[in-house]
Amino acid sequence: MISCAPEGIRYSFVLPVFNEEAVLPLLLHRLDRLVASLDAPAEVIFVDDGSRDTSAIMLEALAKQKPHIRFIKLSRNFGQQYAATAGMDAASGAAVILMDADLQDPPEIVHEMIARWKEGNEIVYARRRSRDGESAFKKFTSKLFYRLLGQISDVDIPRDVSDFRLMDRNVVEAFREMPERDRYVRGMIHWLGFRQTSVEFDRPARAAGETKYNFWKLLRLAMSAVVSFSDAPLKLAVWVGAGVSAFAAGYGAYAIYRGLFADDAASGWASTVVIISLLCGINMLLTGMVGIYVGRIHAEVKRRPLYVVSKRVGFEAAREESQGKKERRAG
């Protein structure tokens, strides 16, 4: 079932942007061609996530010139997951398409996504057949991560899938009801359920510029995914603690036996130091693991906003145009 949207907008494109001035001209050209080929009105929402180059200046000027372009500037760099959330909160379309701004998510794939949506699917995600321009290490660690997450998570998150997807209005409204700060957007959307399907594509290399996701950012995203959708680390802490306790009890019985029946009870100080160090290290590891979850709880209870918007451009004109149409129809 295809939802109805306010303001006459049927398709909303949401693109988080961070230092993408090199790729923006080509991206805008391809998006304009895509929007012109659609069967209904569309809006393109760019969310600047604290860019330090000229991306924000270019997009703000464009939003003032073209009626279908919207621009949201966040007050600082909050991260891609929060920028995507800001764009989805502002989107008014019956179908919302979330995609990256580096052209590794080809806009032309959207036509196939829309076709699947019109068949009754409420979530249409893009699955990568191939990934050009990425190192063998990144491909390997990505596959390893998704395989691990699939094993420990209760949510079936498809492999080789990024945030590139089309969502029905019903999905977006349900997503807006999820206020948690520890956000892993693709996991949150799959957690919602609804009728889902996929389209496959060959992911090209970046058209220009450099990736903004270095190893540490990817590691933090992976940690957010695990903590948000699995309690396996806490269960692991329990089992490791039980195993270490059993080992300690066994070793204690062995030490008592040696003390009672062996003549070399005073020897073995080196092994004792090693064992104590091992136990202390495991204790610190498990305490840190539990501390991650406690830290997430602390962040949640503070109830700070997910993001802060410093500027919006293009939304006022859209509302005025919609109001004018309503008045003309009423007249």
User: pLDDT tens-digit profile of 158-170?
Assistant: 777 778 899 999 9
**Is there a domain that residue 1 lies in?**
no
Domain that holds residue 276: 232-301
Confidence of residue 4 (pLDDT cuts 50, 70, 90): very low
Whether residue 197 sits in one domain with residue 61: yes
- Closest of 49, 33, 119, 118 to residue 87, by C-alpha: 49
**Is there a domain that residue 327 lies in?**
no
Average pLDDT, integer, range 44-64: 91
**Is the C-alpha dihedral spanning 225, 230, 234, 235 positive or negative?**
negative
Residue 94 contacts residue 5 (beta carbons within 8 Å): yes
User: How many independent structural domains does the chain possess?
Assistant: 2
**Is there a domain that residue 325 lies in?**
no
Element (H, E) at 152: helix 136-152
| CATH code for position 48 | 3.90.550.10
Confidence of residue 102 (pLDDT cuts 50, 70, 90): confident
Burial class (CB in 10 A: 0-12, 13-18, 19+), 140: exposed
Whether residue 90 sits in one domain with residue 14: yes
Average pLDDT, integer, range 138-147: 63
Strand partners, 16: 47
**Is there a domain that residue 105 lies in?**
yes
**Is there a domain that residue 329 lies in?**
no
Work out whether strand 95-98 and strand 123-131 pair parallel, antiparallel, or are unpaired.
Answer: unpaired
**Is there a domain that residue 291 lies in?**
yes
Residue 189 contacts residue 175 (beta carbons within 8 Å): yes
Q: What is the pTM of this model?
A: 0.68
Whether residue 239 sits in one domain with residue 98: no
Whether residue 276 sits in one domain with residue 161: no
3-state secondary structure of 161: strand
Long-range contact pairs involving 291-296 (C-beta distance under 8 Å, separation at least 24): 292/223, 292/227, 292/233, 293/227, 293/233, 293/234, 296/181, 296/182, 296/227
**Is there a domain that residue 2 lies in?**
no
**Is there a domain that residue 273 lies in?**
yes
Whether residue 221 sits in one domain with residue 129: yes
Whether residue 132 sits in one domain with residue 18: yes
Whether residue 171 sits in one domain with residue 27: yes
Whether residue 258 sits in one domain with residue 111: no
Whether residue 281 sits in one domain with residue 237: yes
What's the whole-number average pLDDT of the chain? 76
Rama region for 268: left / alpha / beta (φ>0; ψ in -120 to 50; rest): left
